[in-house]
Amino acid sequence: MVDKKHRQAEACEAEITESEASVSNENEEAAGAYKAGNAEKELESLKEELKDAKNELEKNEKQCADYIDRLQRMAAEFDNFKKRSVKEKESLYLDAISDVAGAFLPVMDNVERALKAISADESTQTLKNGVEMVFKQFGDVLKNLEIEEIKTVGEQFDPMRHNAVMHVEDGSLGHNIVIEEFQKGYIYKEKVIRYSMVKVAN
């Protein structure tokens, strides 16, 4: 009787152990499934974070490219502004020199005419010397300002520098050649202060 009960107890223990093992396996499987589910969720979360980071990077790259483009355009505009400013400054200076020199030229013309008028009279030699000195000083001032006389006689007629007031036909002379100067012309760099008044052949 005792043996029978003992065997029943052992069988019961075995069933309990088997049940515990089964439950343990089920728990392990559940834990594994839980971990796998968490890992999958974490992976999806990382993918989303990576996607957001990629989008943010593309946004920042585009913004950076826009900034660079704006900076380059501003630099080009500033460079153009500097060039325009230099040209405008040079133009103002050129105009100022030309205007001042143009105002003095009639005075120089009169001095030159005075020299021609008194050159034949020996009694006025002292006066002539004084006028020549004044005339030379005018010439030196123009030279220091880089103002030059426009070449005329023997030169090809240039409408950009010469003003033809007379024309003559002469087979011994070339075509469109300046043969006489009535009034001197002057030029500062590339700007004509006064056109030369000339006679042109053919």
| Contact by Cβ (8 Å): 69, 154 | no
- State whether 89 and 13 are in the same domain: yes
Q: Is the pLDDT of residue 183 over 90?
A: yes
- State whether 102 and 16 are in the same domain: yes
Total domain count, the chain: 2
For the domain that residue 166 is a member of, what is the CATH number?
2.30.22.10
How many whole angstroms separate alpha carbon 172 and alpha carbon 103?
39
pLDDT tens digit sequence for 83-129: 888 888 888 888 888 888 888 888 888 888 877 777 666 667 777 78
Between residues 154 and 18, which one has the greater pLDDT? 154
Question: The dihedral of CA 176, 180, 183, 188: what is its sign?
Answer: positive
Between residues 7 and 117, which one has the greater pLDDT? 117
- State whether 88 and 154 are in the same domain: no
- State whether 161 and 138 are in the same domain: no
Q: Is the pLDDT of residue 17 over 80?
A: no
Task: Return the DSSP state at 150.
Answer: P
How many whole angstroms separate alpha carbon 81 and alpha carbon 60?
31
pLDDT tens digit sequence for 129-177: 878 888 888 888 888 888 999 999 999 999 999 999 999 988 788 889 9
Number of separate helices (H) and strands (E) present in the chain: 2, 6
**Domain coverage including residue 132:** 2-145
Q: What is the pLDDT of residue 91?
A: 83
Q: Which two tokens stand for residue 120?
A: 């034949």
Q: What is the pLDDT of residue 97?
A: 84
- State whether 175 and 130 are in the same domain: no
- State whether 140 and 158 are in the same domain: no
Boundary residue ending a domain (127, 145, 163): 145
How many whole angstroms separate alpha carbon 180 and alpha carbon 47?
93
pTM recorded for the entire structure: 0.53
For residue 174, give Cα distances in angstroms to 107, 116, 164, 178.
34, 30, 16, 9
How many whole angstroms separate alpha carbon 91 and alpha carbon 130?
37
Q: What is the largest CA-CA distance in the chain?
A: 179
Q: What is the pLDDT of residue 154?
A: 92
